[in-house]
Structure 1
Amino acid sequence: MARWIESWLPGSPTGRDHASGHAGRRFGLPATGHYSVAAVGRRIGGVCLDWLLAYLLVLLVAGTEAIGTADFSWWILGTWFVITTLTVAVLGSSPGHVALGMRVARTDMARHVGVPRALLRTAMIAVVIPVFFVDADGRGWHDRATTTIVVRVLRG
């Protein structure tokens, strides 16, 4: 039986499909390898790398004397938001995604995520809570609301 909250989220399942076999199967994604669903640990690592990049950029511009000020954290959040939104909208990957071999793909398999979806997705990640509610395909509320999924991209 579906939870009531999942009924209004676009692209969300109406309950866990135990017969699917692996995450991403209903979207035509493979179980492992190129374009398989990225693991949660890899995704967390990508966000941490993006946050570290934003931290270093703000530190480079503001200097070490800005550390500990009230505005410092907001500047880091704003920088992270801009970097993540722009790179996901245009390239389909944030710098952290690229470093760990991932990209954000649309579930309808359209080529680009686009600015509106990237804005909404990044804003929901900034709130943090939506990322903890994951479906059978490993998609949080931020991915279900924007009909996206994070997949692995193997270099080679």
Structure 2
Amino acid sequence: MRRETGSWLSGASAALPEGAHGDYRGQQLGLPRDGAGSVAGAGRRVLGLFLDWVPSALIAVAVVGPSKVFAGEPTSYDTLALGIWFVVGVLSVTLFGFTPGQYFAGLRVARIENPQMRVGIVRALARNLLILFIVPPLIQDVDGRGMQDRATGTVVVRSR
């Protein structure tokens, strides 16, 4: 019983057999320790999300009208902002491998089996759907990948 409780409280790496985890995040995936192609840190990923969300929210305010949004009237502002973020995210990751916010934060989404290939529409769609639930990105493995990345076979890496 002590092993199960200890591994749960100690984090994901404690559940691995002795010597099974690498010296740094991404080593098991064959990624470099730092620089371009290394696993992105949480700060950069949050910055990328923020840089994606703010323009989506501003576009939604422009469409709905600032007087309605800031007056506290019931509007479709929240749904519209989320929809804009979702569509821009899926399309840009499919076409370019990164969202506009990820580009400015120096990030990109890569496939695990072949980082040079594009992510594709199916993976980008599934990944963004899981991010909508908020919890999957918060649960990470020893390589710093959220549940949405594990489910779609992707990883967020630094582009520069």
> TM-score category by the smaller chain?
0.7 to 0.9
- Uncovered stretches (5+) of structure 2, i.e. residues with no partner: 5-12
User: In the comparison of the two structures, how many residue pairs are matched?
Assistant: 143
SS in 1 for 2:24: coil
Structure 1 residues 60-69 or 113-122, which shifts more?
A: 60-69
Please give the alpha-carbon distance, in whole angstroms, between the structure 2 residues aligned to 1:48 and 1:55.
10
Matched, 1:106 2:111: yes
| Equivalent position of 2:24 in the other structure | 22
How far does the alpha carbon of each residue in 1:69-126 deviate from its partner, in whole angstroms, 9 at most, with x for none?
Answer: 3411000010100011110111100011001000000001151000010001001101
SS in 2 for 1:151: strand
SS in 2 for 1:34: coil
Q: 1:30-109, aligned counterparts within 5 Å?
A: 30-67=32-69, 68=72, 69-109=74-114
Please give the alpha-carbon distance, in whole angstroms, between the structure 1 residues aligned to 2:21 and 2:149.
22
Closer/same/farther in 2, CA of residues 70 and 18 from structure 1, 3 Å limit: farther
The Cα shift of 1:132 comes to 1.1
Residue identity (%): 38
Amino acid across the alignment from 1:130: P
TM-score (norm 2): 0.83
What do you get for the CA RMSD once the two structures are aligned?
Answer: 1.9
- Structure with greater Cα Rg: 2
Does the 8 Å CA contact 1:106/1:113 hold for their aligned counterparts? yes
Matched, 1:153 2:155: no
TM-score (norm 1): 0.85
Please give the alpha-carbon distance, in whole angstroms, between the structure 1 residues aligned to 2:68 and 2:94.
30
Does the 8 Å CA contact 1:54/1:80 hold for their aligned counterparts? yes
The Cα shift of 1:18 comes to 4.9
Please give the alpha-carbon distance, in whole angstroms, between the structure 1 residues aligned to 2:60 and 2:75.
13
Amino acid across the alignment from 2:59: L
- Uncovered stretches (5+) of structure 1, i.e. residues with no partner: 3-12
Q: 1:97-136, aligned counterparts within 5 Å?
A: 97-110=102-115, 111-136=117-142
Please give the alpha-carbon distance, in whole angstroms, between the structure 2 residues aligned to 1:116 and 1:58.
26
